[in-house]
Amino acid sequence: MADMFFTKDHEYIVVEDGVGRVGITRFAQGQLGDVVFVELPDVGAQRRQGEETGVVESVKAASEVFSPVSGEVVEVNADLSDHPALVNEDPQGDGWFFKIKLANPAELSSLLDKAAYDALVASLA
């Protein structure tokens, strides 16, 4: 069973077997508008929790994507290079950005669960 967590910067991570799939939330995509470009990290890159790990650009703005946890990037969503619109269509599914092998699973405790993230989003409305 996969666990899903969120950052206050509107990234999500779905963790299964010590590897997290990371992307931006539906709320973030909605704020950005139509995504037209995604810059992904290199496979093998080491990232610390909160470190910039990519960039997403839309017709309205560009925004950094931060790693929710520390670890090694083990895969990137190569489909986004040719089809960044996947982020618009399914940000929390096919529009994921990268997968990271968790260096310290205890860092997940500093992230928001779904109820806490939903409350954060509601407070921004």
Question: Residue 1 has what pLDDT?
Answer: 55
CA distance 60 to 74: 30
The rounded Cα 63 to chain-centroid distance in angstroms is: 12
Higher pLDDT, 3 or 104: 104
Question: Residue 106 has what pLDDT?
Answer: 97
CA distance 84 to 54: 13
Give pLDDT tens digits for 1-47.
568 999 999 999 999 999 999 999 999 999 999 999 999 999 999 99
Say whether domain 3-124 belongs to CATH 3.40.50.2300: no
Residue-wise burial string across 68-107, b where 16 or more C-beta atoms lie within 10 A, e elsewhere: bbbbebeebbeebeeebebbbeebbeebbbbbbebeeeeb
Q: Which helix (H) or strand (E) holds 24?
A: strand 19-24
For the segment 42-62, the average pLDDT, to the nearest whole number, is 96
Question: Residue 125 has what pLDDT?
Answer: 76
Residue 101 vs residues 20, 28, 53, 57, 72: alpha-carbon distances, Å: 6, 24, 14, 25, 5
Nearest to 76 by CA among 52, 53, 108: 53
For the segment 57-76, the average pLDDT, to the nearest whole number, is 96
Residue 124 has pLDDT above 70, yes or no: yes
Looking at every residue in the chain, the average pLDDT score rounds to 96
Domain limits of the chain?
3-124
pTM of the model: 0.95
Q: What is the largest CA-CA distance in the chain?
A: 38
